[in-house]
Structures are given as structure tokens and as C-alpha cells.
Amino acid sequence: MKAILISMLMLSSTAQAVELDKKKHFAAAGAISAATYLAMRQQGISRGRAYGGGIAAAMLVGVLKEIIDPKFDWKDVGYDALGAVTVPLLVISW
């Protein structure tokens, strides 16, 4: 829960400085990670493995997208990672 609050505060305090593209990376990776987590949990997979699977799925998509892009951007991958890790925590905490 603390990780969620800290990342929300970080994003809100620098909201003007964060590019729209980075926000999209955060949101897309978070959605992929949370959806994968929920799908895996419905199949009876443990919370920890489902959480790891969600992160892995989101990062796979994010890195593949960057490989396809004309210029690989590590900052985009960083926002993918931040979204993939924090958004599923909201789902888990519910």
C-alpha cells in the first residue's frame, strides 16, 4: 500500500513535467499487468506467481514495442516497469 501511495505522490507532484507518452506507458503497462494478474488468479495460480506473471507480460509488451519503435527509449521502459509493478497492487489490495 505504501508503494502505491508513494508512486501516486511522485506522479502527481511531477504531473506537469511528465510527458503524455510516459503516462500512456504507465497506464498501458499497468492495465496489461493487472489484467494478466486477474486472469491468472482465476486459473487458480497463487498471488505471487500471478503478480510476477503480470509484470512479465507487461514488460514483454513494453520492450517489444520499444524494439519496434524507430528509437529505443529507456525512459519509456522505466514507466512501463513502474505501471506494471504498482497498478496490480491496487487490484491485489481490493
pLDDT digit string, tens, across residues 7-59 = 555 555 555 678 999 999 999 999 999 999 999 999 999 999 999 999 999 99
Number of domains in the chain: 1
Q: Which domain holds residue 50?
A: 2-11+20-93
Among 7, 2, 4, which Cα is nearest to 18's?
7
User: Residue 36: its pLDDT value, please?
Assistant: 98
**Residue 2 has what pLDDT?**
53
Residue 19, sorted as left (phi over 0), alpha (psi -120 to 50) or beta, turns out to be beta
Q: Mean pLDDT, to the nearest integer, of 58-68?
A: 98
Report pLDDT for 15: 54
Q: Distance (Å, rounded) from C-alpha 37 to C-alpha 71?
A: 30
